[in-house]
Amino acid sequence: MERLTFQFSFQDLKLDVPQVERTMGYKSGESDEVLAELIGAALDEAEQVCHIKAELRIFRGVSFNGEDKTVRIEDEVFDLKKIVYSQIRKSEAVAVFLATAGDRLGIMSRQAMKEGDLLKGYVYDIIGSEVADGAAGIMQDELEKTIKAGGEKITNRYSPGYCGWDVAEQHKLFRLMPANFCGISLNDSALMSPEKSVSGFIGIGREVRFNDYTCGLCDMEDCIYRRIRKVKK
C-alpha cells in the first residue's frame, strides 16, 4: 500500500480575490470595492495562519459489485450509489485521500460571526473551503503525475455527501486510515475536524476517465460548485 503526503504553501493555491468573489456568487466586477478589500485582507491573513496538508493511501485489489453499486476496500464495503459507482467502477486501485486547510480559518470565521461581523465570518468560511479544495486539487494533480509513468490514469475525486454518496460513509473511509491521518479526526456525526477539510476517493486504472466537468452528473442543486458554474456563464 502506497502512502503519499503533500504539503503546500498558500501561494501554491493561486487563490485570489476574483476567485473568492465567484464562489460567493459574484460575476467579475459585480462586487463593490469594500467587499474586494475585505476579501483581500482576509486572504493576507489566511496566508499567515493556514497549515495546508494533504495525504492519501492507494489501495489495490479493490472489488466492485455492479448489482449493489458498492466497492470493497480491504474490510470496508462502500455503498457508492449510482453516480459515483459509474465513474470509478473501472478502477484497478482507489486512492483514499484527506486534505485540510488547518483549523485557524474555521476559528476565525466563528469568532467574527460571534462578534456580529457576519460578512467577514462568511468570507473566512469561503476562503477555508477554497483552500481545502485547492489542496485536494494540487494533490490530485501530483497523483496523476506519479501514476502516469505506469500507464495509469485517474478519475475525478468524489467525496461522501455528494452525488448521492451518504456522508455517513466517512466513518468507513476513516477506518481505512491511521488515527489522526493528515491531522484530521471525525466525530459521531461524520463531521471532520478541522472543519475545513475534504475527503474522498480517486479511481486509478488504465481504463478510467477524467471528466473536465462533473456537475452534469449530480442533482445536488445547492452545491457551491454548481453555483460557481452558473456565475461563470
Residues 6+ apart with CB under 8 A from 33: none
Sign of CA dihedral 1, 9, 11, 200: positive
Q: Does 232 reside within a domain? A: no
Range of the domain at 104: 2-227
Q: Does 233 reside within a domain? A: no
Cβ-contact 206, 153 below 8 angstroms:
yes
Q: Does 103 reside within a domain? A: yes
Each of the 233 residues of the chain gets a pLDDT tens digit; together they read 688 898 889 999 999 999 999 999 988 778 889 999 999 999 999 999 999 999 999 999 999 999 999 999 999 999 999 999 999 999 999 999 999 999 999 999 999 999 999 999 999 999 999 999 999 999 999 999 999 988 999 999 999 999 999 999 999 999 999 988 999 999 999 999 999 999 999 999 999 999 875 556 656 555 555 454 444 54
Which pLDDT value is given to residue 228?
47
Distance CA 68, CA 78 (A): 10
Which pLDDT value is given to residue 214?
58
Which pLDDT value is given to residue 195?
94
* CATH of residue 149: 3.40.109.40
Q: Does 207 reside within a domain? A: yes
Q: Can you list the pairs that 71-79 forms with residues at least 24 positions away whose Cβ atoms lie under 8 Å?
A: 73/176, 74/176, 76/172, 76/173, 76/175, 76/176, 77/172, 78/169, 78/172, 78/173, 78/201, 79/165, 79/166, 79/169
Which pLDDT value is given to residue 11?
94
Q: Does 89 reside within a domain? A: yes
Number of domains in the chain: 1
